[in-house]
């Protein structure tokens, strides 16, 4: 981007149109004076050096204040430097670019911190026992125990929710893409959008009022799966819709031209063509609900024992195990042992979600239609 | 037949795939220019009205009727679910309105199990709105910056990778954000909060009147808002990024040709084009922040009075109240009804916010069309 003026280029003094000050401008150039390409680095090093000096002089403790001072000094100093050499417009440009780079860093740093922190904290409890044992009979003051019961519960609930939500989601997407015209289709599109925004706790409360209050039932696994399905449907519709739209119209027309009825065209042409995309979007929808906690608090409860039956009795899930081990479920206090187990369960949950996500994206790239 | 010859079909697809998994990340409404719609817009299966060259594609066979009924039925089921949510929440919340001895809108207390029950939504409403506002003030500018960075600063190859990285942030369960906030963010920001209270304490919202050491800062609405900000960044940036990538090449080139600097190009060509997208993305993020449960429930201690001093511990939101008070509501029908009423309020608020976001987009589309 920056064309730094070669030091051997002859320069003349030209008054700046903004400040009236005279400054050096290369004679044979259409571009005004520019900072050299190493200027940002120089400004950065200078800002850090000044901040470290201030930290030593004023004997600040910790590095937080020094860091923010350096950042502030860099933004102000670099902009001022640019202003004096390049003028107002370039200085504004530098200032805005700095903020945009900074905002990206500000978004990525927490992510890396979270992943790093949970990785370090959670990995310390990982052992063969941790994945093969339940918490049955393990008190909060004891070591040991594992998340087997919770892992089973999470996998079962997610599987049930997927079996309910994915067909509904894909059929709705087919309706919107292949049939949808007029008022009804617009209403469906609108409510898919609105449903995306329904908070997970509200979906949980709905199933609670409907099933548990309505029929006087005790918490059980299937109720949680229903709430997860409600949260999953709009995500599945939206993403499947995008995938179906990618199927070229030519393919459908070719099929109609051969006299194939519309429903067979959808089944035999549209769906197979979009299959890899549909699998990807399904995996991403599954990943969305795997980490949901709020509805499970109301609907599934928690047990430290292994319960394979989603239709009766409390069921453990990974998020609820974390909630329980942190003492939030019973309103008790947590200690080092329970917190370590909570981190272990949370790390397992994150790994599960990340595997689903990365897997879905790899699949999408693998089966991406070749560009002509 | 000339479909997709003069634009790279994989670019759109790549970003759509990258944005999947994030609710609302795919462009809401159709933001593409009309000509593009006509060529590549989906669902243009010819039926009676859209027929071209005599191809009709519609038929009245049995199979077709069954299939269409199934597809439309799935769509209809969605409407039924939405209606059912509203009906059941209203119905089961009625006892909360009839049994409450306080005013359900203005009382700052939460004692539904007392005799007579005494509770109101004023404080949780305050907590919900304030934490969401903090999330918006902190999160939206950063998210727009991230979107600008990915769409117009990073190289094409890096943009895909970085976009994927930001989307991963959206995939992290909210529970994990809450734990990280509780065990990492709070201990590491206590000094900063004390600094705020000491030096900016003349602004009432930063003042903590009781704390004397850094250790007494922490579980407050300010931190809850910052955690929510981190959580909404991926959603907001995914949607705005989509919009920024759709800015017509010609507009950008025109700005360059007039000698604009990069920032002037962004300010005159990219941001005006993406304004509706930014607004709707922010409102989607707001919807998410309003309804976030577990992360908030982990970092806030229940407190049922309105407190403008945001660095003082306490405060609660609709969603976190439901999660935290559910355990002790146990057998009391009024306590349960009170929580359902809180859920109903939350449902209505998010419904209004989300609907407003869609309407803004739809209106915007009419103007530009």
What average pLDDT is seen over chain A? 86
- Separation of alpha carbons B366 and A123, rounded Å: 53
pLDDT at A7: 52
How much of chain B, in percent, has pLDDT values that exceed 70? 82
> Is there a contact between A108 and B165 if contact means CB atoms under 8 Å apart?
yes
How much of chain A, in percent, has pLDDT values that exceed 90? 36
* A155-175 residue pLDDT tens: 999 999 999 999 999 999 999
Among residues A334, A291, A293, A296, which one has the least CA distance to residue A314? Answer: A296
Q: Which residue of A has its CA nearest to B289?
A: A199
Same-domain check for residues A263 and A138: yes
Taking residues B114-135, report their average pLDDT.
90
Name the minimum distance, in Å, from the CA of A197 to any CA of chain B. 6
What is the tally of helices (H) and strands (E) in chain B? 14, 2
Q: In three state form, how does the secondary structure of A152-164 look?
A: HHHHHHHHHHHHH
Same-domain check for residues A79 and A148: no
> Is there a contact between A193 and B292 if contact means CB atoms under 8 Å apart?
no
Q: B259 pLDDT exceeds 60? A: yes
Same-domain check for residues A178 and A292: yes
Residue from A17, A93, A205, A265 whose CB has the most chain B CBs within 10 Å, to mutate? A205
Same-domain check for residues A220 and A336: yes
pLDDT at B4: 42
Q: Considering the domain boundaries, does residue A202 fall inside one?
A: yes
Same-domain check for residues A86 and A145: no
Q: Considering the domain boundaries, does residue A372 fall inside one?
A: no
Tell me if A233 sits within 8 A of A195, measured CB to CB.
yes
* B144-199 residue pLDDT tens: 999 999 999 988 888 888 888 887 777 889 999 999 999 999 998 888 888 888 88
Taking residues B333-357, report their average pLDDT.
91
Q: B357 pLDDT exceeds 70? A: yes
Contact list in A for residue B259 (CB cut-off 8 A) is none
Residue from A90, A122, A166, A201 whose CB has the most chain B CBs within 10 Å, to mutate? A201
Tokens of B67: 């299939």
Same-domain check for residues A186 and A105: no
Q: Collapse the DSSP code of B203 into the 3-class scheme (helix H, G, I; strand E, B; otherwise coil) and give the result.
A: coil
* B66-83 residue pLDDT tens: 888 888 999 999 999 999
- CATH number at A165 reads 1.10.3720.10
Q: Considering the domain boundaries, does residue A6 fall inside one?
A: no
| Last residue within a domain, chosen from A55, A87, A121 | A121
Q: A29 pLDDT exceeds 70? A: no
Same-domain check for residues A253 and A308: yes
- Separation of alpha carbons B219 and B311, rounded Å: 8
For A263, B47, B57, B66, B67, the CA distances from B60, given in Å and listed in that order, are: 11, 12, 10, 10, 11
Number of domains in chain A: 2
Contact list in B for residue A252 (CB cut-off 8 A) is 45, 57
Q: Collapse the DSSP code of A167 into the 3-class scheme (helix H, G, I; strand E, B; otherwise coil) and give the result.
A: helix
Q: Considering the domain boundaries, does residue A5 fall inside one?
A: no
- Separation of alpha carbons B164 and B159, rounded Å: 8
Same-domain check for residues A235 and A153: yes
pLDDT at B369: 38
> Rounded to 10 degrees, what is the CA torsion of B310, B315, B319, B320?
110
Q: Where are the alpha helices (DSSP H) in chain A?
A: 39-57, 64-86, 88-123, 128-132, 148-174, 182-196, 200-207, 221-245, 249-257, 262-265, 271-290, 294-299, 318-325, 336-366
pLDDT at A372: 41
* A176-224 residue pLDDT tens: 998 878 888 888 988 888 888 899 999 999 999 988 888 888 889 999 9
What average pLDDT is seen over chain B? 81
A110: left (phi over 0), alpha (psi -120 to 50) or beta: alpha
Q: Considering the domain boundaries, does residue A209 fall inside one?
A: yes
Question: Which residues, listed in sequence order, are joined to residue B366 by a DSSP beta bridge?
Answer: none
> Rounded to 10 degrees, what is the CA torsion of A257, A260, A261, A267?
-120
- Separation of alpha carbons B201 and B311, rounded Å: 10
Tell me if B285 sits within 8 A of B135, measured CB to CB.
yes
Same-domain check for residues A150 and A263: yes
Among residues A195, B185, A335, A156, which one has the least CA distance to residue A206? Answer: A195
Same-domain check for residues A203 and A340: yes
Q: B27 pLDDT exceeds 60? A: no
Q: B296 pLDDT exceeds 80? A: yes
Same-domain check for residues A87 and A107: yes
Among residues B130, B291, B123, B287, which one has the least CA distance to residue B224? Answer: B130
Token match 């949680």: residue?
A224
Name the minimum distance, in Å, from the CA of A91 to any CA of chain B. 10
Q: B37 pLDDT exceeds 70? A: no
Same-domain check for residues A146 and A261: yes
Domain coordinates in residue numbering, chain B: 57-368
Q: Helices B333-368 and A200-207: crossing angle, nearest 10°?
A: 130
Question: Which residues, listed in sequence order, are joined to residue B110 by a DSSP beta bridge?
Answer: B119
Which CATH number applies to B57-368: 1.10.3720.10, 3.30.465.10, 3.40.50.2000, 3.40.50.300? 1.10.3720.10
- Separation of alpha carbons B108 and B93, rounded Å: 19
> Is there a contact between A346 and B1 if contact means CB atoms under 8 Å apart?
no
Taking residues B300-304, report their average pLDDT.
80
Token match 């705020």: residue?
B196
My answer on whether omega of the bond before B116 falls inside 30° of 0, hence cis, is yes
Instruction: DSSP letter for B111, please.
Output: E
| B136: Cβ contacts below 8 Å, ≥ 6 apart | B229, B232, B282, B285, B286, B289
DSSP A95-137: HHHHHHHHHHHHHHHHHHHHHHHHHHHHHTT--HHHHH---TT
Q: Which domain holds residue A208?
A: 132-366
Among residues A267, A290, A302, which one has the least CA distance to residue A346? Answer: A290
Q: Collapse the DSSP code of A46 into the 3-class scheme (helix H, G, I; strand E, B; otherwise coil) and give the result.
A: helix
A366 φ, ψ (degrees, to nearest 5): -60, -45
Taking residues A318-331, report their average pLDDT.
86
| Last residue within a domain, chosen from A121, A143, A159 | A121
pLDDT at A358: 86
- Separation of alpha carbons A214 and B92, rounded Å: 9
Size of the A and B interface in Cβ pairs below 8 Å: 354
Contact list in B for residue A196 (CB cut-off 8 A) is 23-24, 354
């Amino acid at each position: 981007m920056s064309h730094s003026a070669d030091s051997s280029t002859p320069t003349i003094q030209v008054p700046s149109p903004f400040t009236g000050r005279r400054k050096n401008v290369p004679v044979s150039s259409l571009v005004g004076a520019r900072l050299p390409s190493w200027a940002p680095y120089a400004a950065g090093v200078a800002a850090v050096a000044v901040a470290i000096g201030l930290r030593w002089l004023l004997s600040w403790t910790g590095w937080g204040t020094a860091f923010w001072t350096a950042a502030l000094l860099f933004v102000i100093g670099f902009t001022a430097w640019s202003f004096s050499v390049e003028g107002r417009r370039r200085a504004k440009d530098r200032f805005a670019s700095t903020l945009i780079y900074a905002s990206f860093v500000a978004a990525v740093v927490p992510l890396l911190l979270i992943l790093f922190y949970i990785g370090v904290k959670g990995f310390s409890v990982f052992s063969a026992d941790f994945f093969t044992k339940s918490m049955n009979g393990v008190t909060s003051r004891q070591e040991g125990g594992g998340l087997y019961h919770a892992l089973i519960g999470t996998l079962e609930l997610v599987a049930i929710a997927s079996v309910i939500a994915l067909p509904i989601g894909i059929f709705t997407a087919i309706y919107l893409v292949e049939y949808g015209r007029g008022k009804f289709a617009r209403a469906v599109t609108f409510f898919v959008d609105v449903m995306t925004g329904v908070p997970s706790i509200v979906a949980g409360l709905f199933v609670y009022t409907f099933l548990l209050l309505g029929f006087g039932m005790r918490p059980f696994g299937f109720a949680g799966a229903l709430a997860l399905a409600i949260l999953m449907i709009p995500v599945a519709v939206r993403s499947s819709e995008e995938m179906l739209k990618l199927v070229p119209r030519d393919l459908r027309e070719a099929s109609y031209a051969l006299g194939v009825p519309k429903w067979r065209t959808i089944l035999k042409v549209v769906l197979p063509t979009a299959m890899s995309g549909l699998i990807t979007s399904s995996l991403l929808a599954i990943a969305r609900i795997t980490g949901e906690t709020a509805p499970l608090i109301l609907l599934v409860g928690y047990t430290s024992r292994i319960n394979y039956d989603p239709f009766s009795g409390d069921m453990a899930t990974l998020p609820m195990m974390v909630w329980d081990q942190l003492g939030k479920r019973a309103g008790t206090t947590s200690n080092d042992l329970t917190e370590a187990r909570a981190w272990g369960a949370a790390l397992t949950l994150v790994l599960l979600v990340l595997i689903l996500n990365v897997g879905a994206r790899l699949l999408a790239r693998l089966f991406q239609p070749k560009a002509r | 037949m000339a479909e997709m010859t003069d634009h790279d079909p994989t670019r759109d697809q790549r970003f759509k795939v990258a944005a999947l998994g994030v609710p609302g990340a795919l462009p809401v409404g159709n933001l593409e220019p009309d000509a593009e719609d006509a060529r590549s817009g989906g669902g243009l299966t010819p039926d009676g009205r859209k027929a071209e060259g005599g191809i009709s594609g519609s038929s009245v066979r049995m199979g077709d009727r069954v299939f269409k009924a199934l597809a439309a039925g799935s769509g209809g089921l969605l409407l039924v679910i939405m209606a059912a949510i509203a009906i059941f929440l209203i119905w089961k919340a009625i006892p909360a309105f009839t049994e409450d001895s306080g005013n359900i809108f203005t009382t700052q207390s939460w004692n539904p199990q007392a005799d007579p029950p005494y509770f109101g939504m004023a404080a949780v409403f305050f907590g919900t709105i304030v934490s969401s506002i903090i999330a918006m003030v902190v999160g939206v500018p950063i998210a727009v910056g991230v979107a600008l960075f990915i769409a117009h600063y990073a190289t094409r190859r890096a943009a895909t990778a970085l976009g994927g990285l930001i989307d991963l942030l959206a995939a992290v369960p909210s529970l994990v954000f809450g734990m990280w906030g509780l065990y990492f963010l709070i201990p590491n920001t206590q000094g900063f909060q004390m600094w705020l209270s000491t030096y900016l304490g003349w602004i009432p919202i930063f003042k903590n009147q009781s704390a004397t050491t850094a250790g007494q800062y922490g579980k407050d609405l300010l931190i809850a808002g910052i955690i929510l900000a981190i959580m909404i960044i991926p959603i907001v940036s995914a949607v705005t990024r989509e919009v920024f990538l759709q800015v017509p090449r010609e507009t950008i080139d025109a700005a360059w040709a007039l000698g604009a600097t990069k920032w002037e190009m962004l300010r005159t060509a990219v941001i005006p084009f993406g304004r509706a997208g930014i607004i709707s993305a922010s409102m989607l993020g707001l919807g998410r922040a309003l309804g976030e449960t577990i992360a908030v429930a982990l970092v806030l201690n229940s407190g049922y009075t309105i407190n403008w001093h945001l660095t003082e511990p306490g405060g609660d939101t609709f969603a976190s109240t439901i999660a935290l008070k559910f355990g002790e509501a146990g057998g009391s029908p009024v306590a349960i009804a009170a929580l359902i009423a809180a859920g109903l309020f939350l449902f209505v608020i998010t419904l209004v916010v989300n609907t407003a976001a869609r309407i803004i987009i739809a209106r915007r589309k009419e103007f530009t069309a």
